[in-house]
Structure 1
Amino acid sequence: MDKINRVSEEAWTYLNKWPMHSWTKSQFSHRPKLDNICNNACEVFNARIKEARSKPIITLLEEVRMFVMRSIAKNKVKLNNHVGKLPPVNEEYEKFEVHGHPTNMVVDLGKRLCTCQFWMLTGIPCVHACAALARVNKRHEDFYHPLVTMDSYRKTYEHHINPLLASL
């Protein structure tokens, strides 16, 4: 907080109004096992019940109950076929921000891009891309450029040059 105060007294005043455990990871509880502090889940829920909110309370509650019931059933079906220690993640995600030191990188799996440029320069997924691929349970081997695979290497050397008879 002292460093913040030296940089911006206005920022310090604003942040000082809130308990530190609600806005800084250094003060977060270790019990929930969640590092995400955004309200996306609330926004998704509110978007789903938007129409129901204007209905009478019993109807609203019934629609919320049905929404939750369908969500649980849908997730049970997804989980029945899943193998592994960790739960599956939403595979629709293609863009990731990979946090690192000294900077963060943006990875786009769909376009096979990373802001570190290594993936595009070499055709081999960089550590940032590998981290994003691991998050969506995909194999990094499936994201190599065709030119850097063993098949391509073999094709390079599949030809031969016939020897010539030595003339006397």
Structure 2
Amino acid sequence: MILEARDKPILAMLEWIRVRLMTKQYKKMKGIAKYTRKVCPNLQDKLEKLKHESIPFSATPAGSFMYKVDNGCERHVVDLARKACSCRIWDLTRLPCKHGIFAIVKNLEKVENYVHPCYLKETFVETYKEIIQPMSGQSEWVEINQPAPVAPHAYKPPGKPPKQRK
């Protein structure tokens, strides 16, 4: 995003970046306010895809929250109480894997209840609730009696510069 601002003077570059971040944060805040589901939109799509992939599985209950999930080729143990599966995808992503989703559906529960709180809409809203404050223009800045900053001296070694070929 900042590649467009690289050629600007430092103050103009920082102002350009601040304005872009301010508008991006505002758009995200307004966009998520319209969303009605519990899980963020891109993760909701991913969960729907995993639900579709879990169709060929079958689950055998081993306890109230423990299931053996298999499809003939692979077999996994899903523990809904610990939110874990033996494939370890659930442990790594904090999203239920396709085996876990099948066990959740078999247990007649909602998949959204087993998603980590960092993927929920409330967390997203909490992240983007703070706004980046607008600033007044450079003409309204307070004058101070300090010397202007000076760029450092660029040292150039004597002799011919080395070639940079591979």
More helix by share: 1
Question: What TM-score results when the alignment is normalised by the length of structure 2?
Answer: 0.44
Question: What TM-score results when the alignment is normalised by the length of structure 1?
Answer: 0.43
Greater length-normalized contact order (CA 8 Å, ≥ 6 residues apart): 2
